[in-house]
Structure 1
């Protein structure tokens, strides 16, 4: 999720397991940047946190369709946006990562929490526990997490239930 206030931008991400349960969260005050760049920062922060915690695969969800398309668009390989190139490199080299577009309604919790990190104005922060019980995925989100129609950059996990 990305929030802007007074010209400043902050991002926040929530990492969940395949059942929608909280694993950890993170926030990062960025200062001034575009929403597009902020969303790339959020994805990069999430990937780096996952790698530091030794996760080997994940699905990143964003409500920014422009970012998803930019990450999937092979015509933008020589992009001048360093953040875009860096995220692409991690997706390509570090494992089966997936970037998926989700409607804004599935990002409500992260959007709400992002606004809090605008007040803190701190560098990347990691949260090992959910701030409250609302962090448990709603049934609607749980259904969404079980989408089986992969888009580009998605490499579905080998799951015996799907075989």
Structure 2
């Protein structure tokens, strides 16, 4: 686990034993570490989707994904987003050091602390926790929704596309401007 100081989270605190950051800007991960931002979304018809983006320590796009999930809760879609992102990291052997950020406090808490076998999402949480063991560094943070916009857009975008699951090898045009803005904001602030 990396420290808040290493990651530059001077506003980081513990909330209910969950790593929480109140910062208002996306922050690049430390050198050699990847960052996965992920999100779930729910349509008016209760159709769920998920999405996420992986970036490197220079803020460069590595890969992104979107997936349709069918009818399920928002929490389940948040957990699926985490799981899909971890599967991509592991299956593509992208790296063994990762910071994961989600704007779902409950999902972060479930992954960090686990849950009882009777929990409705026990199997999802267990698979996420088992995959996390394949990383030499695995840190999971709850962040504000405003910092998670790229993942939110990816999750919502899946609702209007045909494929059930899609992996973007290069930044799609509908998030490109946000990726540039995140990196520009980082350069102008630090």
Same fold (TM over 0.5): yes
TM-score by length of 2: 0.67
Which stretch shifts more, 51-60 or 87-96? 87-96
Q: Over aligned residue pairs, what C-alpha RMSD do you find?
A: 2.2
TM-score by length of 1: 0.78
2:42 maps to 4
The count of corresponding residues between Structure 1 and Structure 2 is 143
Query: 1-side partners of 2:184 and 2:118: how far apart?
Result: 36
Shift in CA distance, 126/28, structure 1 to aligned 2, threshold 3 Å: same
Whether the aligned pair in 2 keeps the contact of 1:77 and 1:85 (CA below 8 Å) is: no
Query: In the alignment, which of 99, 109, 131 is matched to residue 140 of structure 2?
Result: 99
**1:23 matched to 2:62:** yes
Query: 2-side partners of 1:78 and 1:18: how far apart?
Result: 36
Alignment of 1:47-86 (within 5 A): 47-54=86-93, 55-73=95-113, 76=115, 78=117, 80=119, 81-86=122-127
Query: 2-side partners of 1:91 and 1:125: how far apart?
Result: 23
Which stretch shifts more, 5-14 or 129-138? 129-138
Structure showing the higher strand proportion among its residues: 2
Query: 2-side partners of 1:84 and 1:140: how far apart?
Result: 35
1:88 maps to 129
